[in-house]
Structure 1
């Protein structure tokens, strides 16, 4: 009995010691996480809310446990890489970081790791393109996530604007963040200049143009044709869906045409509308301008030139449709 009692006491003492060691380790890790949070909060306050990382700082800020979340932008800003999306998104990202820094909330950090400072991290993560944005959720605290692995931000789907990232964090990651875009003084001045110019046209030019507008169909034909071209090119789709201007392909290349017939970029609308405009003008030239030529040689040359323009442009349009969907069945020359 005495031996059994001693064994029981020894077991209880051992369990207590193990629990004490475990509690000490948990407390140590919690203190370490708080220490890292304080460190990065200090660095963020000195850099305007945006952290420029190297490989060591990246490993440290993404280390678990984390009582904070962090978005890390993997980019390549050096001129030799020619990464236009990186150059485009960087100021938007830093603007969002500055806006967040004004709240002095250390529950989230905005960081950037450039390829020149973290080649081993890019290689470790098998990143073949830039930019790439990773969201690391907290592993402890009220916002703790059961899955500590990073979540990738889809630029092609969400967009390259600061408000796009803020909306994604708020909606998809349940992390409320507000972003107020700085007042666009240049846009305001341009708009004000346009209003003044329009007012001057109404006051000084419109009375003299009234007879021309009411007496000819040309102005209304051009306005109507331009509206049809713009709308058929997908302007309303872009406006309703909030499509990004362009996308990123393999190797970080900028893409102007989105794959599939259910997606498109704003740049695609501009290109296709220009093609439609050229097609319309070439058809008008063949119907109106060429027949009015009195010189047979010029008339024949006009038929050849505008026919080539029309057919070549149509061939280019078919080729663009095939880039969006390889199963598109039609082609002309290209």
Structure 2
């Protein structure tokens, strides 16, 4: 409810500012000269910085004051260290990649500009637009009215430049071609092929070995457990959000399989978490079996030690993964 109120309030505020701000001059020729000078200054600024870091005065002059015949994609963030905004740093990096893709694309023109405002440098703008937190990206259109669709909120959308590109292309309609600064990663095909072959081979073996498996409680228990592990690892979230298998960072050249923010996840990360859950579950099953079975003492000891090692090691790695994504998480076992 609070988020809906915020969206509506921002929409009404920006629309009011755009239509209530007086023209620079009542004379058309004078207004045209002012517009040409603003565009020239913005183009010069863009040549130096693909993302223009504006203060309150610059934002009022280039964005809120008329005349204006260009759209502005503005990111609102908080980069000061004492703010401890981990998503802000990642969002700015992706925003820079997005702006660079626009600057070097064949469709580059003086109709779309990218700007960034920091809360500690321009608190008045945040207060005026009722931006309560960051990071948030707004599309401030040149002529059409500002709507809720002109808000790219990272709390409900993916933080990658690829997803921001789709949104900017939809809002501006000026981006020609495809987003090419990131190369797609296709390493997931061998994983899918291997899993499919293993499942089909296992099913054929079981059918040939003992067809009464369909009445086996253990079979259905394992099947249900696999489904629970897969879903609790984020499979449905990834399916809904359309997350990539992994991403190659353009500015570092490295491929990342684990996202270091708590509100986003890769497909490869889901497989890693599923493996951790499986090993933890196997360790608990071994401990339970060793405690209740009637096998000889040596085998029970081996099962107990193996189960304990699996449980401790993989649960420790799972906590380490949580701390990587949520840096203030306090708990750990054995490893950092």
1:18-57 correspondence to structure 2 within 5 Å? 25-47=27-49, 49-57=50-58
**CA–CA distance in 2 between the matches of 1:152 and 1:40?**
23
Give, in angstroms, the shift of residue 160 of structure 1.
0.8
Deviations 1:154-183 (A, max 9, x none): 324431111111101223553435421245
> 2:297 is paired with a residue of what secondary structure?
coil
> 2:130 is paired with a residue of what secondary structure?
coil
Give, in angstroms, the shift of residue 239 of structure 1.
4.7
Q: Which residue of the partner structure matches residue 127 of structure 2? A: 123
TM-score, normalised to structure 2, is 0.55
Deviations 1:236-291 (A, max 9, x none): 6515631499xxxxxxxx6559xxxxxx9977886677456523431243125763
Give, in angstroms, the shift of residue 86 of structure 1.
0.7
Instruction: Give the gaps of 5 or more residues in structure 2.
Output: 1-23, 191-204, 206-218, 246-260, 316-336
Q: Which residue of the partner structure matches residue 160 of structure 1? A: 159
**CA–CA distance in 2 between the matches of 1:234 and 1:293?**
40
Task: Select the structure of larger CA radius of gyration.
Answer: 1
TM-score, normalised to structure 1, is 0.55
1:130-169 correspondence to structure 2 within 5 Å? 130-139=134-143, 145-147=144-146, 151-169=150-168
Contact 2:72 2:114 in 1 (8 A): yes
**CA–CA distance in 2 between the matches of 1:293 and 1:57?**
79
Q: Which residue of the partner structure matches residue 100 of structure 1? A: 102
Distance 1:172 1:43, change over 3 A: closer
Contact 1:36 1:61 in 2 (8 A): yes
Q: Quick one: which of 77, 80, 83 aligns to 1:81?
A: 83
Instruction: Give the gaps of 5 or more residues in structure 1.
Output: 1-21, 140-144, 195-213, 215-220, 246-253, 258-263, 314-334
Contact 1:134 1:150 in 2 (8 A): no
**CA–CA distance in 1 between the matches of 2:182 and 2:263?**
27
Distance 1:271 1:29, change over 3 A: farther
